[in-house]
Amino acid sequence: MYTNGPSNPYPVDWALRYHSERIAQQSNNWAGENITRYKNPEMDKIIEQLQTEMDEKKQTELFRQVNWISVTDVVEIPIVHRAGVGARANSLGGLNPSTWESDLYNVGEWKREG
């Protein structure tokens, strides 16, 4: 099983995995991130725009387009969202674990108890 997904709120590195110049092949010692060997000139153009676009609203729309194309072209089939593992001291309260958020998303609400 292999999983992937954006690792931060500005996921340009995640989008780059779909650029045709990053197809894993012998000429790059199989080091390209595009292990699906996906090639789409429209996707390449959008990803290239993402790398230089400074307007936040335009970036958001470009990321949506990358996501939409990757889904409609069935580049990968999302099957599971694998959550991480976290631990805490018994004396730490205010945590509200979520399968979809970082373990630290509500760190401002944590407090020592007892």
Regarding whether 50 and 90 lie in a shared domain, the answer is no
Regarding whether 87 and 36 lie in a shared domain, the answer is no
Q: Is the pTM of this model over 0.85?
A: no
pLDDT at 1: 44
Report yes or no on 1 lying in a domain. Answer: no
Report yes or no on 7 lying in a domain. Answer: no
Report yes or no on 31 lying in a domain. Answer: yes
Residue-number span of the structural domain to which 114 is assigned: 83-114
Split into its structural domains, the chain has a count of 2
Report yes or no on 78 lying in a domain. Answer: no
User: At residue 84, does pLDDT exceed 70?
Assistant: no
pLDDT at 99: 64
User: At residue 28, does pLDDT exceed 80?
Assistant: yes
pLDDT bucket at 85, cuts 50 / 70 / 90: confident
Could you give the dihedral angle defined by the CA atoms of residues 84, 90, 95 and 100, in that order, rounded to the nearest 10 degrees? 10
